[in-house]
Structure 1
Amino acid sequence: MQAESLPQHLGDASSQGLVLSPEHQAALQVSLELVRRNYKFNRVYLWGKVLGLGGDYFIVQGVDVDELKSRKTLYSFNCMDWKLLPPATDEMIARSMLIKGRFTGDPSHQYKKTVLRANNEDQTDQDTDIKVKEEERLTATIELINREAAIIPRGAFIMTPRGEVHKNRSFEGLSVTEAGKLKSYLHFTKPITLKKKSVLMQANLEESIDFLNSLEDDELKELKQVFWSLQFERGNKLVILRNLLWPGFTFFHVPDTTQFGFIYMGLGEKNMDFPFMI
């Protein structure tokens, strides 16, 4: 959620139990402007909070000209002092996902995991120790949540002929009818491969808007209606989408307005047992 609209957007997400203390809200409103100036960001977003045993990680993300490619992530324990996280790599994500259990709240903490790996020379399995620093696990978890859960309303962003992603100034919000459809929401992450559309669907697509995959393109098609929970609140004045694979992730949009955003407040653990719970 955008820093300038923090109090209002936090109010939209508060019905899901995602709240910040008045002290943290006040600190964020001051410090996020300083973050924007110090790091020369064009815009700063509050991403959320990862709960730890010894302390909670408050997460913000800053962007430059391109809203998608130039995103950088910072964390803080007190909402005042911020530290830049390194970019996550696929290898870092793969190693971090082997670690289970709560975050400790100590960025320097090192996890140790013993895994079995095949030895191609003598065709035997050997124990291998993998070490992962909590700071690496944190940035990997944030990146994975962004890839799998971060979403935007269709039309909220456009891609220019130069390939840059910008906010769409002509976006006026989804109608109440469109806001109730999963196809009206796009994954806000660069697609590895853009899913193919039927001839009928292609006729209704706009190249500058439909450059991302929609929720209807999710691989687990038989489960998409389940792990995306969509509901209206305040009559039809607010739509809420929750990702049940990442408990604590909430997206909100006020139909017929430009107000939308998402926030994550959770343990930083994916619900791997979800397919067996339905």
Structure 2
Amino acid sequence: MLKCSLVILQNENHFRNVYFWGKIYGTDHNYYISYGYQKDALADIIFYYSTDCVKWGMLPSSSDFDSSSLKYCITPFSGDPALLKDSQNGFANEVVLAPLIKIKEEDRLAATISLINDEAMIVPRGALFKNVNGVVIENENFRGLNLEESKHLESYLHYRIPKNKWSANLYKRADFSYEMDFLDSIDGDVPKGCWSLQYEDGGQILIVRNLFWPGMTFIHVIGTSEYYFNYTGDGKKNIDVPFML
């Protein structure tokens, strides 16, 4: 049912590709998340959510204000996108908390997904390619990472609009290629150790996890073009990671 609904979603929106992103648990209903794009595999991404894997609603764009308010949302998701919940609108270093505000669960969901993408969604180096027109596309010539490359964090790139200057990425690699290395690698993420690399099936399958987001899983079959990202969890960040390492 999910597969059929994603095909319909792709056709209705004329997406070049559409993918299942993951699931966020709710007390009454779970949120199923997907995304697609028409031309640019990075800048044109649009996210959708569903509670029944049939009807999909477009997620609103997330703002910095929404993301900063997430730290005050400690209650679980309910599964009702129209539900309004109280939240504190302020900063962690304030002595006196700001007055309560109402946050729509749909906006909270959008902000949570945006934050998970920003911090934990990754692709292997070479999977995305920026062409001469500046459009990011999926690299049809990508043949996967070899075993040695897979052991290094700089072989994995954040699937987001780059935050570092291209020159910062240039100095990290002797074999730098701007067409493939325009994204930020995860080796500079702090604290060191927040990423976990594990091998299964005799070293043929690599599993990468981000300790800040329990439930985030990235899988890559070594030496092939197959890779997969999925998040399945409650949408809460583990802020205790710096004290656990």
SS in 1 for 2:99: strand
Aligned partner of 2:105 in structure 1 is 134
Q: Aligned equivalents of 2:217 and 2:169: distance in 1?
A: 27
Aligned partner of 2:5 in structure 1 is 31
Q: Aligned equivalents of 2:90 and 2:37: distance in 1?
A: 40
1:88 is aligned to 2:59: no
Aligned partner of 2:207 in structure 1 is 240
Aligned partner of 1:149 in structure 2 is 120
| Structure 1 gap ranges (5+) | 1-26, 118-123
Residue 234 and residue 53 in structure 1: after superposition, are their counterparts in 2 closer, same or farther (change >3 A)? same
- Say whether the 8 Å CA contact 2:163–2:184 is kept in structure 1: no
Q: Aligned equivalents of 2:180 and 2:90: distance in 1?
A: 45
Structure 2 matches for 1:1-278, cutoff 5 A? 27-115=1-89, 127-194=98-165, 196-197=168-169, 199=171, 201-218=172-189, 220=190, 223-224=191-192, 226-278=193-245
- Following TM superposition, the consecutive aligned residue runs of length 4 or more in structure 1 with deviations greater than 6 angstroms are none
Aligned partner of 1:10 in structure 2 is none
CA shift digits 1:67-102 (9 cap, x unpaired)? 001111111111111111111121222223321121
- Say whether the 8 Å CA contact 1:194–1:212 is kept in structure 2: no
SS in 2 for 1:178: helix
- TM-score, with structure 2 as normaliser: 0.92
Q: Aligned equivalents of 1:37 and 1:112: distance in 2?
A: 38
State the 1:44 CA deviation: 0.4
SS in 2 for 1:97: helix
Residue 115 and residue 258 in structure 1: after superposition, are their counterparts in 2 closer, same or farther (change >3 A)? closer
Percent identity over the alignment? 39
Q: Aligned equivalents of 1:127 and 1:101: distance in 2?
A: 18
- Say whether the 8 Å CA contact 2:69–2:87 is kept in structure 1: no
State the 1:198 CA deviation: 7.2
- Say whether the 8 Å CA contact 2:22–2:232 is kept in structure 1: yes
One-letter code of the match for 1:79?
C
SS in 1 for 2:11: helix
- TM-score, with structure 1 as normaliser: 0.82
Q: Aligned equivalents of 2:80 and 2:145: distance in 1?
A: 41
CA shift digits 1:184-215 (9 cap, x unpaired)? 1011101223372575x454200111101111
State the 1:172 CA deviation: 0.5
One-letter code of the match for 2:61?
P
The Cα RMSD (Å) is 1.8
Larger radius of gyration: 1
